[in-house]
């Protein structure tokens, strides 16, 4: 299905970013939000981005005008008569999303595809209240939309093959790389990322400094360590995703005591968005963001120092094993179809280190026997550290 006209509900950071990507491809695009204030912010953001690209010579005056002409912003669904595909990108709340989806479904043509940009909410659960669940799926873009090429195309139980293929092709039209995943809590990327954060939480509570964990994981090849990454994501988003995953996988993703992320959220230290999280953020004279460790983080654990009895090798395994085990589970459950798709999603969605073969290549380089040995070594840390594969190979 070729998309003659595209629509996005919700003019927040994600919604406006998705709409702009479609307009760049000269697809007539509507960006709709009930809030005039949100539309004004989206309009200013789009103009700034286009102006920067003009100044750098990335786009020409003609291309800029074409993009501006393709993108219309308004506060009501003026006409969905020609809309072939709509992405709902409102606030990450199940009831608000469902209400927006139901209204959109009533206004769209009978053969149009309806999608949601949710990062956590069950596609199957939302589909239960829709009239045409076969024409519904998830289109999970990543932030910042312009830079992140991965799109998780999330297949619900009722999603038709035609809907799925149309969404895959549409993502490619936007110059994105789609990976089809089956609906489950966290989908694929967040599902394998948050066990990694569990490993970090345990290490920090054991007294390992977050700066040291960041340094060890960056030395392995991650673009940033887990503490810095949590600051970029934001503690509010971290804790929201954690709750979904805890509910979905209570046997292994429940915290025995409050996570350090929830403690930071409680203390209103959300990360970069508040200027303080694991690190303190300031701007230098040139306007560049600077960071330094936040000593207040240790006070949340009622201690002032760190321990050095845990080796760098142990830090590495305690961080990586939960992610590797969850990736194996996702493969065995058919959440992702192939090891190639798994590695692509980990590279593009998580910045997995540049290892030949990606995440799967790393698992193969370790070998199943060595992986089992490490699982036995760290089994006392909980069920995230152990996994008995039903399908080996």
Model confidence pLDDT, tens digit, residues 38-55: 999 999 999 999 999 999
pLDDT averaged over every residue in the chain: 94
Bridge pairing between strands 71-74 and 136-141: unpaired
Report in angstroms the alpha-carbon separations of 192 from 19, 29, 384.
28, 33, 11
21 Cβ contact list (under 8 Å, min separation 6): 145, 146, 174, 175, 176
Task: Give pLDDT tens digits for 121-131.
Answer: 999 999 999 99
Task: Give pLDDT tens digits for 365-390.
Answer: 999 999 999 999 999 999 999 998 76
**Are the C-beta atoms of residues 371 and 324 closer than 8 Å to each other?**
yes
Question: Region 319-327: what's the mean pLDDT?
Answer: 98
8 Cβ contact list (under 8 Å, min separation 6): 15, 16, 18, 19, 22, 29, 30, 31, 32, 86, 87, 89
Specify burial of residue 111 (Cβ count, 10 A radius: 0-12, 13-18, 19+): exposed
Q: How far apart are CA 365 and CA 314, in angstroms?
A: 18
Respond yes or no: is residue 140 known to be catalytic.
yes
Model-level pTM?
0.92
Read off the pLDDT band of 285 (50, 70, 90): confident
Per DSSP, the three-state class of 289 is strand
What tokens were used for 33? 């939000």
For the sheet with 71-74, list strands across it. Answer: 71-74, 29-32, 6-9, 85-88, 113-116, 136-141, 150-155, 177-182
Pick the catalytic residue from 140, 198, 316, 380.
140
Q: How far apart are CA 216 and CA 210, in angstroms?
A: 10
pLDDT at site 393? 45
Q: Which domains does the chain have, with CATH numbers?
A: 6-182 (3.40.50.720), 188-393 (1.10.1040.50)
Q: How far apart are CA 37 and CA 54, in angstroms?
A: 26
Per DSSP, the three-state class of 372 is helix
pLDDT at site 77? 63
Task: Give pLDDT tens digits for 8-26.
Answer: 999 999 999 999 999 999 9
The conformation of residue 384, written as its DSSP 8-state character, comes to: G
Return the CA Rg of the chain.
22
Q: Which single residue is written with the structure tokens 């694929």?
A: 188
Report in angstroms the alpha-carbon separations of 348 from 25, 98, 223, 358.
21, 29, 12, 10
Per DSSP, the three-state class of 178 is strand
């Amino acid at each position: 299905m070729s998309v003659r006209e595209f629509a996005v509900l919700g003019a927040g950071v994600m919604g406006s970013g998705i709409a702009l990507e479609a307009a760049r491809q000269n697809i007539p695009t509507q960006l709709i939000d009930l809030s005039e204030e949100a539309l004004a912010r989206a309009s200013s953001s789009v103009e700034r981005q286009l102006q920067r690209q003009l100044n750098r010579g990335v786009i020409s005056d003609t291309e800029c005008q074409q993009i501006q002409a393709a993108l219309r912003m308004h506060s009501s669904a003026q006409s969905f008569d020609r809309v072939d595909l709509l992405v709902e990108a409102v606030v990450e709340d199940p009831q608000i999303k469902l209400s927006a989806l139901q209204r959109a479904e009533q206004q769209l043509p009978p053969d149009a595809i309806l999608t949601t940009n949710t990062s956590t909410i069950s596609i199957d659960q939302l589909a239960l209240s829709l009239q045409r669940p076969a024409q519904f799926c998830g289109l999970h873009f990543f932030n910042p939309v312009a830079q992140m090429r991965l799109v998780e195309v999330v297949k619900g139980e009722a999603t038709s093959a035609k809907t799925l293929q149309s969404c895959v092709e549409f993502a490619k039209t936007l110059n994105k790389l789609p990976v089809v995943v089956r609906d489950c809590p966290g989908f694929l990327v967040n599902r394998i990322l948050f066990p990694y954060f569990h490993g970090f939480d345990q290490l920090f509570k054991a007294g390992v400094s977050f700066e040291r964990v960041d340094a060890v994981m960056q030395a392995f090849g991650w673009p940033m360590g887990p503490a810095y990454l949590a600051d970029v994501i934001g503690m509010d988003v971290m804790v929201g995703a954690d709750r979904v995953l805890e509910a979905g996988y209570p046997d292994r993703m429940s915290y025995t005591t409050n996570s350090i992320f929830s403690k930071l959220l409680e203390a209103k230290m959300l990360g970069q968005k508040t200027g303080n999280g694991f690190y303190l953020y300031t701007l230098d004279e040139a306007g560049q963001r600077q960071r330094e460790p936040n000593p207040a983080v240790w006070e949340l654990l009622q201690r002032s120092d760190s321990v050095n009895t845990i080796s760098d090798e142990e830090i590495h395994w305690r961080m990586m094993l939960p992610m590797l085990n969850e990736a194996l589970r996702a493969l065995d459950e058919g959440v992702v179809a192939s090891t190639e798709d798994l590695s692509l999603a980990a590279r593009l969605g998580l910045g997995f280190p540049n290892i030949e073969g990606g995440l799967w290549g790393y698992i193969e380089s370790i070998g199943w026997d060595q992986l089992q040995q490490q699982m036995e070594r760290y089994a006392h840390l909980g069920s995230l550290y152990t996994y008995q594969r039903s399908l080996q190979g």
